[in-house]
Structures are given as C-alpha cells and as structure tokens.
Amino acid sequence: MKDQSDDRENLLIKRGKVSMLMMNRYPYNNGHVMVAPYRHINDFDELTAGEIYEIFQMLKLAKYALDKVMHPHGYNMGLNEGEVAGAGFEHIHFHLVPRWTGDTNFMPVTASTKVMPELLLNTYDKIFEALQ
C-alpha cells in the first residue's frame, strides 16, 4: 500500500484499487470533490469497465458522505475532457459539486471571487470521517 501520510495535506480522501477520491483544491463550492483513475489518461474512451465501475462507486460514496455531513439541496456532476471543455490538466477526472438554493450570489459576478464559508481542510475532515 502506498504511503498515506500526506493524504490529508494532498486532500486525498479515499484510495480505491484503480481510482481515488479527493477534494478539489480550487472548489466551485464547499464540498467539491473529484474522482480520478490512477492511470494517467485523458480520454473517457480509454477507461476500462473496471475503472468506470469503481469511479462511479466512489462518486456514489462521496455523495453519501456529502449528504450526511453537508445536506446539499442538489448536485452538479460532470467530466471535463479536453482543454476547450475546461480540463485544466491532461488526466481525466469527474467532479461532484454540492449545491444549495441561493449558493450563487453577487460576489462571483461583481468581484470574480467565490466566498467559501468553511476552510477546505475542515470540509475534508468531515467527509473523511463520514466515510470511516
């Protein structure tokens, strides 16, 4: 098993056999997590059936934890593939973003700033604990 001593610092919440669940360091909203395969691929078509299965199991597990500790009103879930679609780096990953009624306000529109009401590591700790 890989050394897990830096997992919290690296925002890695859970390791699977072929994929990992992690917090997004630059979240769209509190609780924004991502799931990525360990293999460095950048095309959805390159995922194996086993990777697809585990990735979606991880997303389901993440949703369970977020429901338990954050009680969002809904979610955005998605995949950005390719630079023009907003993929910032060439490693396929899936986003799960909790949403609440009224979570968009004037700050992103007028100041290009997103207000995050909870520290990232506090959110990490809540999600990590919910999965234990």
Residue-wise pLDDT for 43-58, tens only, equals: 899 999 999 999 999 9
Q: Which of 29, 13, 8 is nearest to 62 (CA)?
A: 13
Q: What are the catalytic residues? A: 93
Full set of structural domains in the chain with CATH: 12-130 (3.30.428.10)
Note the pTM of the prediction, 2 decimals.
0.81
pLDDT reported for residue 105: 55
**What does the alpha-carbon distance between residue 36 and residue 58 come to, in Å, rounded to a whole number?**
9
pLDDT reported for residue 111: 47
Residues 121, 123, 126, 130, CA torsion sign: negative
Residue-wise pLDDT for 12-52, tens only, equals: 999 999 999 999 998 888 999 999 999 998 889 999 999 99
> What does the mean pLDDT of the chain come to?
86
pLDDT reported for residue 4: 76
